[in-house]
């Protein structure tokens, strides 16, 4: 098992219902045999990236902004997030993210399940 990973070791996993962004999964059941978490990197392109309102009925999520800024929401609250900000998303909470700004935004995120599939995913209109 590999314990130290770099971005090139990750799995490119396109995001359903997300435009102009990429997601690289570094730690999950398939990559390292994780039993309880998924850890990934994501980059949203400037002005065009958005992730629709959705829920993960089976997992909590944490987002950490590495660089840039974007707009994120949880339930009825929408905020601007910037470098160094962390957002906690409770299990089953409606949440979304988009980048209306002129620079890309890079982030890390964690699900409390060993795969994106086991976290669950459902679009909320």
User: In whole angstroms, what is the distance from residue 16 CA to residue 102 CA?
Assistant: 23
For Cα atoms 60, 88, 86, give the angle at the middle one, nearest 5 degrees: 135
Instruction: Quote the CA–CA distance of 121 and 103 in Å, as a whole number.
Output: 28
pTM of the model: 0.93
At 48 the pLDDT is: 86
**How far apart (Å, rounded) are the C-alpha atoms in residues 79 and 64?**
14
Report the pLDDT averaged over residues 40-54: 92
pLDDT digits (tens, 9 = 90+) for 70-122: 999 999 999 999 999 999 999 999 999 999 999 999 999 999 999 989 999 99
Position 17 pLDDT exceeds 80: no
Q: What is the pLDDT of residue 73?
A: 97
Q: What is the pLDDT of residue 14?
A: 82
> Which H or E run includes 49?
strand 49-55
Task: Give me the residue label for tokens 């398939």.
Answer: 30
Tokens standing for residue 105:
């935004």
Q: What is the pLDDT of residue 50?
A: 87
Does the pLDDT at position 18 exceed 80? no
What domains lie within the chain, and their CATH numbers? 7-123 (2.60.120.10)
Single out the residue of 111, 64, 104, 74 nearest to residue 121, CA to CA: 111
């Amino acid at each position: 098992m590999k314990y130290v990973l770099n971005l090139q070791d990750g799995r490119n996993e396109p995001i359903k219902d997300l435009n102009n962004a990429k997601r690289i999964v570094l730690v999950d059941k398939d990559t390292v045999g994780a039993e309880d978490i998924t850890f990934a990197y994501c980059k949203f392109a400037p002005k065009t990236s958005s992730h629709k309102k959705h829920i993960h009925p089976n997992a909590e999520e944490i987002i950490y902004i590495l660089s840039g800024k974007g707009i994120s929401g949880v339930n009825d609250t929408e905020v601007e997030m910037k470098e160094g900000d962390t957002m906690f998303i409770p299990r089953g909470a409606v949440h979304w993210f988009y980048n209306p700004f002129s620079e890309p935004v890079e982030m890390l995120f964690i699900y409390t399940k060993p795969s994106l599939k086991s976290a669950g995913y459902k679009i909320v209109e």
